[in-house]
Structure 1
C-alpha cells in the first residue's frame, strides 16, 4: 500500500472498531428500547468499514469506489460479495439477513424482533471478531473486554396470537413471516456462523467443586422450590466434534498470541495433543465437557465450548511444558 492507501486503511480500521464497540454497548444497555435497530445500523457499519479496509489492502484503493463514479464508494452488499464469494456461506447469509433488517422500514420493527434476531446478532459479533483478526491481525478484546462480546437478552418468545393482538395486521404478519423465514434458515444451514445463542443455565450439583458459585438452603424461607430434570439438547450444549475442538483451540491460541511449545519448539495444537488431554483428564467421563451419542451398537462423542476454555487455560498456564508433562504422565498411567 502507498502512503494514501495506508492512511485510509488505518482510519477505516479505527472507525470500524469504534462502530463495533458502539453496537455492543448499545445492545447490552438495558434502558434502551431502540437496540435492535441501533445494533443493526452500527454492526453493519463496522463490517462495511472493515471489509473496505481489506479490499484496499488486497486490491488497492480503487477497489472501494465505483468505476464510473470515483466519488462514491461501493455498498456493504458489494463488499460482502467481493470478499465472501460463496453465496451459501453461513457467515454471508447471516450478514445479508441483518442488512435486510437494517433496511426494513422502522415502522415494521417491534420489540419482539429481538427474539428472532438475537441468535443472528450473536453470530455476527463472533464472526466479526474472528474476521477482524484473520484479515487485519486486530484483536477486538483489546478494544472491549471479552465478556462483553456475549449479548444480553432475556425476553421470552412471543406467541403468534399475542403478536396479532398487539400490532396492526401488516406489522404482525411481517413479523411472523420474518420469524418463519429465519427459523427455516437456521434449520437448513445448521451453523453457528449463521446463528448461535449463549445460554446461561442454573443446575444443582452435589459436589461444590463442580459449581461456579454456591447457594444456601434456608429452612425458614416462605418460598418453596422443587427439583426438576431439564432436557438438554446436545446440539446446543455439546456442539463440537473432536476436529472442531482442535481447530478452535488453535484459533483461540493464535488470536491471543499464545505460543504452544513442546520439546523446545513452537507447535500447533494437534490430534495427538488432544488425545493427551482426553486421556489424562478423562474428559469423556465429564458430562460438563463431553456428551455420548449412542446409536445401535456404536457410540461417539461431541464436546462443549467449556472444553475449549479448559484446554486453553491449561496451555496458557504452562505454554512451554504442558504437552511434555502430559506425555510423561500418560506414560506413567500406562
Structure 2
C-alpha cells in the first residue's frame, strides 16, 4: 500500500472498531429500548468499514469506489459479495439477513424482533471478531473485555396471536414472515456461523473439581429451592459434529496465537488428535461434552462447545507436549492392559 492507501486503511480499521464497540454497548445496555435497531445500524457500519479496509489492502484504493463514479464508495452488499464470494456461506447469509433488518427497521421494527434475531446477532459478533483478526490482525478482545462479546438477551418468546393483537396487520405479518424465514434458515444451515445463542446453565455435580463455582445449601434459609430435571434439546446443547469440533479448536488456537506441536513440529489439530483426547479422557461418557443419539440399533454422538473449551485449554497449558504426552499415556495403558505385549517396530 502507498501512503494514501495506508492512511485510509488505518482510519477505516479504527472507525470499524469504534462502531463495533458502540453496537455491543447499545445492545448490552438494559435501559435502551432501541437496541435491535441500534445494534444493526452500528454492526453493519463496522462490517462495511472493515471489509473496505480489506479491499484496499488486497486491491488498492480504487477497489472501494464505483468505476463510473469516483465520488461514491461501494455499498455494504457489494463489499460482502466481493469478499465472501460463496453466496451459501452461513457467515454471508447471516450478515445479509442483518443488513436486510437494518434496511427495513425504520418501517417495520417491533420490540419482539430481538427474540428472532438474537442468535444471528451473537453469531455476527463472533464472526466479526474472527474476521477482524484473520484479515487485519486486530483482536476485539483487546478493544473490549472478552465477556462483553457475549450479548445479553432479555426478550421472551411471543405467540403469533399476541403479535397480531398488538400491532397493525402489515407489521404483524412482516414480523411473522421474518420469524418463519429465519427459523427455516437455521434448520437449513445448522451452523454457529449463522445463528448461535450463548446459554448459561447451572447443574449440580458430585465432584467440586468439575464445577465453575460452589454454593451451600442452608436449611435455616427462608428461601427454598427445588431441583428439577429439564428436557434438553441436543441441537442446542450439543450441536457439533467431530468436524465442527476440529474446526473450532483450530480457529480458537489461531485466534489465541497458540501453536500446537507434535514430534517437534508445528501442526494443526486433526482427527487423530481428537481421538487421543476422546479416548484418554473418555469424553463420550461425560454428559457435558457428548450426547448419544440412538436410532434403532445404531448410535452416534454430537458434542457441545464445552468440549472445544476443554481441548483448547488443555493445549494452551502445554502446546508443545500434550499430543506426544497423550500418545505415550495411551500406549502405556494398552501395555498395562495386555501384559507381555510389545509395541510394533514397524
TM-score by length of 2: 0.91
1:270 aligns with 2:260: no
Q: Could you say which residue in structure 2 is the equivalent of 1:328?
A: 328
Q: Could you say which residue in structure 2 is the equivalent of 1:295?
A: 295
Q: Could you say which residue in structure 2 is the equivalent of 1:36?
A: 36
How big is the shift at 1:271? Answer: 2.0
Q: Could you say which residue in structure 2 is the equivalent of 1:215?
A: 215
SS at match of 2:193: coil
Q: Could you say which residue in structure 2 is the equivalent of 1:178?
A: 178
1:255 aligns with 2:255: yes
In the alignment, the residues of structure 2 paired with residue 301 and residue 178 of structure 1 have an alpha-carbon distance, to the nearest angstrom, of 32
1:77 aligns with 2:57: no
How big is the shift at 1:107? Answer: 4.5
How big is the shift at 1:262? Answer: 2.3
**Which is further off, 54-63 or 175-184?**
175-184
How big is the shift at 1:252? Answer: 0.9
Q: Could you say which residue in structure 1 is the equivalent of 2:109?
A: 109
Q: Could you say which residue in structure 2 is the equivalent of 1:64?
A: 64
Unaligned 5+ segments in structure 2 are 335-346
**Which is further off, 170-179 or 91-100?**
170-179
In the alignment, the residues of structure 2 paired with residue 46 and residue 169 of structure 1 have an alpha-carbon distance, to the nearest angstrom, of 34
How big is the shift at 1:69? Answer: 0.9
In the alignment, the residues of structure 2 paired with residue 241 and residue 321 of structure 1 have an alpha-carbon distance, to the nearest angstrom, of 26
TM-score by length of 1: 0.94
How big is the shift at 1:296? Answer: 2.4
In the alignment, the residues of structure 1 paired with residue 132 and residue 22 of structure 2 have an alpha-carbon distance, to the nearest angstrom, of 16
**Which is further off, 226-235 or 204-213?**
204-213
The 5-angstrom pairing of residues 4-23 of structure 1 reads: 4-23=4-23
Q: Could you say which residue in structure 2 is the equivalent of 1:164?
A: 164
**Which is further off, 130-139 or 310-319?**
130-139
In the alignment, the residues of structure 2 paired with residue 286 and residue 213 of structure 1 have an alpha-carbon distance, to the nearest angstrom, of 19
In the alignment, the residues of structure 1 paired with residue 172 and residue 60 of structure 2 have an alpha-carbon distance, to the nearest angstrom, of 46
**Which is further off, 276-285 or 74-83?**
276-285
How big is the shift at 1:65? Answer: 0.4
Q: Could you say which residue in structure 2 is the equivalent of 1:143?
A: 143
SS at match of 1:111: coil
In the alignment, the residues of structure 2 paired with residue 56 and residue 181 of structure 1 have an alpha-carbon distance, to the nearest angstrom, of 35
| Contact 2:246/2:271 (8 A) holds in 1 | yes
SS at match of 2:301: strand
Give CA deviations for 1:256-302 in whole Å, capped at 9, x if unaligned.
11112222222222222222211211111111111122222222222
In the alignment, the residues of structure 2 paired with residue 177 and residue 247 of structure 1 have an alpha-carbon distance, to the nearest angstrom, of 33
Give CA deviations for 1:32-74 in whole Å, capped at 9, x if unaligned.
1111111000100011011111111222111110111101100
SS at match of 1:302: strand
In the alignment, the residues of structure 2 paired with residue 105 and residue 118 of structure 1 have an alpha-carbon distance, to the nearest angstrom, of 15
In the alignment, the residues of structure 2 paired with residue 95 and residue 226 of structure 1 have an alpha-carbon distance, to the nearest angstrom, of 42
| Contact 2:37/2:105 (8 A) holds in 1 | no
How big is the shift at 1:224? Answer: 4.0
How big is the shift at 1:14? Answer: 1.5
Unaligned 5+ segments in structure 1 are none
Q: Could you say which residue in structure 1 is the equivalent of 2:310?
A: 310
In the alignment, the residues of structure 2 paired with residue 190 and residue 282 of structure 1 have an alpha-carbon distance, to the nearest angstrom, of 26
How big is the shift at 1:167? Answer: 2.6
In the alignment, the residues of structure 2 paired with residue 140 and residue 38 of structure 1 have an alpha-carbon distance, to the nearest angstrom, of 19
Q: Could you say which residue in structure 2 is the equivalent of 1:133?
A: 133
SS at match of 1:266: strand
In the alignment, the residues of structure 2 paired with residue 270 and residue 12 of structure 1 have an alpha-carbon distance, to the nearest angstrom, of 36
Give CA deviations for 1:288-330 in whole Å, capped at 9, x if unaligned.
1111222222222221111111111111111222222212111
Residues 273 and 190 of structure 1: CA distance in aligned 2, closer, same or farther (over 3 Å): closer
